Amino acid sequence: KKGTRVAPYAGMPTLLDVPHRAVDWAALDLSGLDIALVGVPMDLGVTNRNGSRFGPRALRSIERVGPYNHVLKTMPTHELNVADIGDIPFRSRFDIALSHADIEEAARKIVTAGAMPLFVGGDHSVSLPILKAIGAERPVGMIHIDAHCDTSGPYEGCKFHHGGPFRQAVLDGVLDPERTIQIGIRGSSEYLWEFSYESGMTVIHSEEVTGLGVPAIVETARAVVGDGPVYVSFDIDSLDPAFAPGTGTPEIGGLTTREAQGILRGLSGLDIVGGDVVEVAPQYDTTTNTAHAGAQMLFEILSLARLSRRFENSGRS
């Protein structure tokens, strides 16, 4: 049985090596699918180094992530029906507002079709239209792992840039700030993120992580998000650039991959409703380490999804 697995470098590249499922976005049918992995190759919201439009391709090229999560003791791709349904279609690669509309529409379709979506960006601005789809009926809580709060206001006449999706999501009523925790925050832009504090988000800075320890952070995170629906947003720049150089707005002094995995693995049993991994820019990723970390974090979130309340009675075993 083991002997028949295809070599990691062979076959068509897909996210986490799950099967590709070709879909018709005009009439999206996801019947039988539990979880949809989907690419969002859009980076028009970037304020500095661009390139994360190649993020989905980069993650698809990574070998050997999954199938087994030995800490969470799950093999999600074997226990649920998971597929890579390709990338969200865009009407224009030149217009950020139009792109956000396209993302929102596609996300709504996936939700309506009944699969839990996990997205791969693209820049972090994509989380706004995604949340508008996922939180349309009630605001959701969020585990947000990132170097930046991403709660600044409109900038240069644009409210869709990657520095502000979560302020806008709160204003749009799709994100519950009091059930939101932001972990790994650092850098020189703290003065732009007053909204996080004013709206009631919990912020854990990167420089606090050693002192607090991962178990305490997990405990805080679980307390913040509680029993309600939770979205998990993982910005790869939460990791220190030593671990993830391939991103557009790196900040030194960040999380290690071990810390980030430790935090994610502590979140088993929540009511996960979706998630994303964003800001992988492979042009700056000379070793593929960043895409590799992104793929593994996607696998951790997928494991959380499999262990979430929605699927607690599921399983193909």
Q: Write out the binding residues for a second copy, residues 25-44 only, by CB under 8 A.
A: 39, 41, 43-44
Q: Based on CB atoms, which residue is closest to a second copy, 39 or 274? A: 39
The verdict on whether omega for the bond into residue 139 sits within 30 degrees of 0, i.e. cis, is no
Rounded distance between C-alpha atoms, residue 40 and residue 135, angstroms: 18
Position 257 contacts a second copy (CB under 8 A)? yes
Residue type, 56: P
Q: Which of residues 270-289 bind a second copy (CB under 8 A)?
A: 283-284, 286-289
Position 164 contacts a second copy (CB under 8 A)? no
Position 161 contacts a second copy (CB under 8 A)? yes
What is the separation of C-alpha 128 from the centre of its chain, rounded to a whole number of angstroms? 12
* Residue 231, phi then psi, degrees to nearest 5: -105, 140
Residue 64 to residues 5, 15, 135, 257, 299: CA-CA distances in angstroms?
12, 11, 33, 17, 11
Q: Based on CB atoms, which residue is closest to a second copy, 136 or 220? A: 220
Q: Which of residues 170-229 bind a second copy (CB under 8 A)?
A: 186-192, 205-207, 209-210, 214
Choices 169-177, 230-238, 248-256, 308-316 (CB under 8 A): range interacting with a second copy: 248-256
Per CB under 8 A, the list member of 72, 225, 293, 304 interacting with a second copy is 293
Per CB under 8 A, the list member of 35, 36, 86, 151 interacting with a second copy is 86
Instruction: Say how many residues touch a second copy, by CB under 8 A.
Output: 99
Residue type, 212: L
Rounded distance between C-alpha atoms, residue 154 and residue 305, angstroms: 33
Q: Which of residues 2-21 bind a second copy (CB under 8 A)?
A: 2-3, 6-14, 20
Q: Based on CB atoms, which residue is closest to a second copy, 250 or 275? A: 250
Rounded distance between C-alpha atoms, residue 49 and residue 250, angstroms: 9
Choices 46-54, 194-202, 217-225, 307-315 (CB under 8 A): range interacting with a second copy: 46-54
Choices 26-34, 106-114, 132-140, 157-165 (CB under 8 A): range interacting with a second copy: 157-165
Per CB under 8 A, the list member of 36, 74, 90, 128 interacting with a second copy is 90
Q: Based on CB atoms, which residue is closest to a second copy, 299 or 311? A: 299
Q: Which of 195, 127, 136, 203 is nearest to 165 (CA)?
A: 127
Position 98 contacts a second copy (CB under 8 A)? yes
Residue type, 9: Y
What is the separation of C-alpha 225 from the centre of its chain, rounded to a whole number of angstroms? 16
First-to-final CA distance of the chain: 16
Q: Buried (b) or exposed (e) across 88-109, using 16+ Cβ within 10 A?
A: bebeeeeebeebbebbbebbbb
Position 240 contacts a second copy (CB under 8 A)? yes
Q: Are 196 and 174 in contact (CB under 8 A)?
A: no
Q: Based on CB atoms, which residue is closest to a second copy, 152 or 168? A: 152
HSE of 115, CA atoms in CB hemisphere, 13 A: 27
Q: How far is the CB of 91 from a second copy (least distance, A)?
A: 6
